Amino acid sequence: MEKDDYCREAGLKLLREDVDRSVHGPLVEEIRSILRSFADFSVSMVRRTANEAAHLLAKDSCVNKYCKTWIRVPPVIVVSRLTLDILEF
């Protein structure tokens, strides 16, 4: 299965009504719970190239084993990517 197929399947898992009993079930159920707290939401899959800032943040977090919260000033690791995103739109 290709990466895009895995991403598509993950999105579909979030939209299903039945309990997810897979190895990822607890995470899927937690995300579903968070989504239900919103009056309206949508789940969509985008290619990594369209979501590179999020990919860079996730990759950095996995490599460095930390969790961060940032306010107002984005992390240096994504500043150039965000700048390119702004210029492209």
- Read off the pLDDT of residues 47-83 as tens digits, 9 standing for 90 and up: 767 778 888 888 887 787 777 777 888 788 888 887 8
> What CA–CA distance (Å, rounded) separates 24 from 26?
6
Average pLDDT rounded to a whole number, residues 83-87: 78
Q: Which pTM was predicted?
A: 0.52
Residue 48's pLDDT is: 66
Q: Does residue 7 contact residue 45 with C-beta atoms inside 8 Å? A: yes
> What CA–CA distance (Å, rounded) separates 32 from 50?
24
